[in-house]
């Protein structure tokens, strides 16, 4: 799956990923109204609105992008119907040839991490049958519990040729509270980065590892340092656009081969129609606005890489 991610990035020339994190207030009124007309103002109605919104954005952008990253919390908050919309979104994106990164940030002790791993990446056994319940291609994993929490994901990744991105340095303002604390003369995130490199050696694709890392666009200097610590890890970089990152700040997340990083934008793409820059599309053409925002983002990142 890391090979497919790399191939998709090379095919599109766009090392970017669209974060499908649909807050209800991102979804145009008309899409919501249609869903509520059918299902009422219910969790099912919200889930239908999310699904129709996602589908339109995917339909309008899938040929330009290598991957999507649905944030499961935005679905889980609508309970079971929301999670059904998550699954439908994952399945649809895979049909479209996209790599799907489930942003689930799970992580627990051994047997529990194993349950998350089979549920999201692998197959669960029921009597003589087996099922792939959520079936993402990659997931994000929280490392706080150490190797016990990561190894069960690694086992399933090896079996299924799938991958994960481990939280190393997150994009949020308070990420430093624990992650930046110095252990001797090195910050905790660097220690986690070293572990990512070690876990990654156990499951290599052709040029990159199936084990990647999450490092926020909002911390470009740390990205530069971490790039060296984990040379074979793909870095998933959230925080572009709405959270403040820009293409030129992000070149050091990439290797010399122009690969090794994939930049995520969520709100900046899926709610593009709300920005002044794309307002001319009008609310009803929100998918076209997202397409224009993807084109602009891909051009920004490409030009930054060409001019570095």
Q: Which is nearer to a copy of itself, 43 or 259 (CB)?
A: 43
Q: Could you say whether residue 84 binds a copy of itself (CB under 8 A)?
A: yes
Q: Could you say whether residue 183 binds a copy of itself (CB under 8 A)?
A: yes
The residue from 10, 38, 77, 228 that contacts a copy of itself (CB under 8 A) is: 77
Q: Which is nearer to a copy of itself, 119 or 287 (CB)?
A: 119
Stretch that binds a copy of itself, among 5-13, 191-199, 224-232, 269-277 (CB under 8 A): 191-199
Binders of a copy of itself in range 129-148 (CB under 8 A): 129, 131, 133-134, 142-148
CB burial readout 202-236, b (16+ within 10 A) else e: ebebeebbbbbbbbbbbbbebbebbbebbebbbbb
Q: Which is nearer to a copy of itself, 100 or 118 (CB)?
A: 118
Q: Could you say whether residue 8 binds a copy of itself (CB under 8 A)?
A: no
Binders of a copy of itself in range 13-72 (CB under 8 A): 21, 23-24, 32, 36, 41-43, 45-46, 71
Q: Residue 204: beta bridge partners?
A: 209
Binders of a copy of itself in range 97-126 (CB under 8 A): 105-113, 115-116, 118-120, 124-126
Beta strands per DSSP E along the chain: 16-18, 67-68, 99-106, 124-126, 129-131, 138-141, 163-169, 182-183, 186-187, 211-215, 235-237, 261-265
Q: Could you say whether residue 171 binds a copy of itself (CB under 8 A)?
A: yes
Q: Are 88 and 102 in contact (CB under 8 A)?
A: no
CA–CA distances in Å: residue 162 to residues 72, 101, 192: 18, 10, 21
Instruction: Work out the end-to-end distance of the chain between its first and last CA atoms, rounded to an integer number of angstroms.
Output: 29
Stretch that binds a copy of itself, among 3-11, 165-173, 220-228, 278-286 (CB under 8 A): 165-173
């Amino acid at each position: 799956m890391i090979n497919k991610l790399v191939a998709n990035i090379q095919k599109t020339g766009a090392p970017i990923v669209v974060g499908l994190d649909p807050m209800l207030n991102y979804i145009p009124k008309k899409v919501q109204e249609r869903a509520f007309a059918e299902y009422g103002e219910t969790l099912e109605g919200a889930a239908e609105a999310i699904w129709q919104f996602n589908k339109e954005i995917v339909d309008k952008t899938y040929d330009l992008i290598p991957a999507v990253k649905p944030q499961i919390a935005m679905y889980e908050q609508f309970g079971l119907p929301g999670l059904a919309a998550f699954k439908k979104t994952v399945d649809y994106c895979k049909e479209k040839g996209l790599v799907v990164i489930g942003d689930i940030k799970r992580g627990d002790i051994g047997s529990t991490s194993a349950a998350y791993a089979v549920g999201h990446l692998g197959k669960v056994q029921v009597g003589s049958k087996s099922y792939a319940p959520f079936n993402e291609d990659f997931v994000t994993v929280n490392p706080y519990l150490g190797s016990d929490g990561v190894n069960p994901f690694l086992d399933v990744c090896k079996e299924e040729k799938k991958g994960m991105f481990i939280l190393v340095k997150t994009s949020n303002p308070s990420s430093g509270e624990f992650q930046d604390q110095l252990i001797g003369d090195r910050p905790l995130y660097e220690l986690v980065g070293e572990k990512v490199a070690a876990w990654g050696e156990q499951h290599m694709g052709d040029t990159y590892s199936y084990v990647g890392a999450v490092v926020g666009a909002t911390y470009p200097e740390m990205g530069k340092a971490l790039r060296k610590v984990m040379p074979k890890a793909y870095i998933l970089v959230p925080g572009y656009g709405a959270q403040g990152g820009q293409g030129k700040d992000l070149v050091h997340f990439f290797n010399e081969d122009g690969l090794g990083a994939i930049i995520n934008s969520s709100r900046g793409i899926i709610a593009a129609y709300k920005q002044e820059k794309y307002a001319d599309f009008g609310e009803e053409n929100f998918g076209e606005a997202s397409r224009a925002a993807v084109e602009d983002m891909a051009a920004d990142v490409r030009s930054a890489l060409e001019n570095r």
